Amino acid sequence: MISEDAGFSTKSVHAGETRDPQTGSVITPIYETSVFAFSSTKELIEVIGGGAAGYVYTRYGNPTVRAAEKKIAELEDAEDAAVFSSGMAAITTTLFTLVSSGDHVVSTRDLYGGTLEFFKNILPKFGVEVSLVEAANFNEIASSMRTNTKVIYAETPTNPTLKIVDMAKIAKLAEKKGLTAVVDSTFASPFNIKPIRLGVDVVVHSATKYLGGHNDLTAGVVCGSSDIIPKLKEMRKNLGGTLDPFAAWLLLRGLKTLGLRMEKHNSNGMQVAKYLAKHPKVKRVYYPGLRSHPQHSIAKKQMKGFGGVVSFEVNGSSEKTMKFVENLKLCSLAASLGGAETLVTQPTASSHYFVEEKMRKEAGITDQLVRLALGIEDSKDIIADLEQAFNKI
């Protein structure tokens, strides 16, 4: 048992897990089973009806999965959490739980491509309207409210231009209007920011990224109050976006080193951003840790560190940008982030490939934009790789 005021890494290691009573195993076992047996029908009815603790069917719940939920809830300072088979499963299940036909959602325009696709093309099929607004313009967010608005949704930092949303302001607006404030905090991680402390109602993550941390699992998580999370789990049960127990075990393993990894991601992010900001072949750098960032003061106020993602525009053509990316050797061309390895992409050819060109331009996503997801290698080696690639263009 750990105390409530334990440090982040102590919680990362111990929260949500207890020594296995049967074997003494220090590590939570993988309960790789689809069903759980009972000694009597009465016992089954008590568990399935919620009158007694236990598990019935892994789509409903599982001990390994539950341990991961408890650990993440502790790290986010949330009352509870629900894990999912992917980040998109977490996001879509959250929205389907919170809104119904005839409702309205206000969301920042700067979003992961999959989320944007869901808001633009899927939710409207179910009679839900979505207004997409400028992430850095709070007045535009506030003026977009309607009588039927139910949710304010935001990413911070945003993907891929790393704009910062003032979460305390969003939370106060939502409280004033009686709405639910939902924030995708994937790029920050609970190490760098605590949205619930700032008044946000629901926090979502693609746990595939920093929470897992090793590029070896796909998962999502939603954190919130003990009122909201059971409703999400009921929707998860019906939609089927359940996390597999083995993936939950990998997530538990990854979470143990989250604090250590984030310190290195943050350090690499700052050092590489400063290097890029001085480079003659770089037109612009997007990183909230730089004083030149338009929302640096907000980031400094609400974040402990600024993360391991740095985006920048190459000072040249689309072809030169592509040549730069393809000449990297240490940094792999791959569309993810948050793992031990440094990954690089052009968002127009990966996360935002299916986003219409007009919307990409409105969000500042050009063909020259490069998203660098820094791993935990030594920064001098990452910078050396970037330098040799710049020399090729």
- Catalytic (active site) residue 59: yes
Residue keyed to tokens 């070896």 = 216
CA angle 74, 198, 371 (to 5 degrees): 85
d(CA 371, CA 311): 4
DSSP single-letter state for residue 197: G
Residue 393: CB atoms within 10 Å = 17
Query: Annotated catalytic, 166?
Result: no
Three-state SS string over 274-327 comes to: HHHHCCCCEEEEECCCCCCCCCHHHHHHHCCCCCCEEEEEECCCHHHHHHHHHC
- Tell whether omega for the bond before 157 is within 30 degrees of 0, i.e. cis: yes
Q: Which residue has the tokens 């001098």?
A: 380
Query: Is 184 part of the annotated catalytic residue set?
Result: yes
Which of 31, 66, 80, 112 does the annotation list as catalytic? 112
Residue 229 sits at the vertex; the CA angle it makes with 185 and 29, to the nearest 5 degrees, is 85
Where does 99-206 have alpha helices with state H?
Answer: 113-117, 138-143, 167-177, 189-192
Dihedral in degrees, nearest 10, Cα atoms 2, 5, 7, 11: 40
**Exposed, middle or buried by CB within 10 Å (0-12, 13-18, 19+), for 267?**
middle
Q: Is 291 a catalytic residue?
A: no
DSSP code at position 35: B
State the first-to-last Cα distance of the chain, in angstroms, to the nearest integer.
56
SS3 184: strand
Of 11, 109, 163, 209, the catalytic one is 209
List, in order, residues 6 or more apart from 48 with CB less than 8 Å away.
Answer: 56
Active site residues: 59, 112, 184, 209
